[in-house]
Amino acid sequence: MVENFVLKFKVVLLGSSAVGKSSLVLRLCDNKFSETKESTIGAAFQNCSLDVGDRKVKLQIWDTAGQERYNSLTSMYYRGAKGAIIVFDCSNNDSFISAQNWVDEIRSKSSSNVKIIFVANKTDLPQFKVDREEIEKFVNKNNLIFIETSAKTGLGVLELFSDLAIEMSEEYRSLIRNENNMKYYNDDYLVKKDKQKIILEKIKNNKKKKYKCC
């Protein structure tokens, strides 16, 4: 039965305004970048599909607004999320501090098994102003995957979403194995197969980094 379906996962993007959340989604889904992209109001929704191994995974991406006046609304989008991408601007330390708060926020208000990836975006800029030791300390303490990206050049973007899709798929398979019933064979996780396909050119010489707690 499962062979006739595609795994689907709700993903939320969190982070301060202007860190490049929407640009990451645009790069993933359309392989484009816009210097003049407007700030998200409330939240924007986008469907994208990825090939993970020999399986297709559908991501339902909720790109949330970073402005403080929308923070009270953002928690509405946590419900049912299986993954979260928390983004900061590598040239802006305040956005790094804010991103740390978003980790605490989503862990306190969402499922305990939500998969989180911590992202330093805008690595194409000449100065990486956030202390790398502080980043490593934080991601190790919180058992997070950390990836450096550039929505402008495409560096690390496909890998970011692919890694999250793999993490969520493995969590789903774990639930199926450990729960001897059919409760996870439902429309929270599965959608009928279609012919939608996303094609992105692999970015060579990727300098992606991952830190995981021992």
- pLDDT above 90 covers a percentage of the chain that reads 54
- The answer on pLDDT for 188 being more than 50 is yes
Q: Report yes or no on 208 lying in a domain.
A: no
Domain that holds residue 131: 2-192
Distance CA(27)–CA(22), nearest Å, equals: 9
Domain count, the chain: 1
13 falls within a domain: yes
- Long-range contacts formed by 32-35: CB under 8 A, 24+ apart: 33/151, 33/152, 33/154
Answer yes or no: is pLDDT of 32 > 50.
yes
| Within-domain flag for 207 | no
| Cα 138 to Cα 21, 25, 142, distances in angstroms | 21, 25, 6
Strand partners, 116: 84
Residue 21 within a domain:
yes
49 domain-assigned: yes
Give a yes or no: residue 119 inside a domain: yes
Dihedral of the CA atoms 198, 113, 62, 99 (nearest 10)? -110
**Is residue 152, in this structure, part of any structural domain at all?**
yes
CATH number at residue 117: 3.40.50.300
This prediction has a pTM of 0.82
Reported as a single tens digit per residue, the pLDDT across 86-132 is 999 999 999 999 999 999 989 988 877 899 999 999 999 999 999 99
Does 200 map to a domain? no
Residue 52 · residue 197 · CB < 8 Å: no
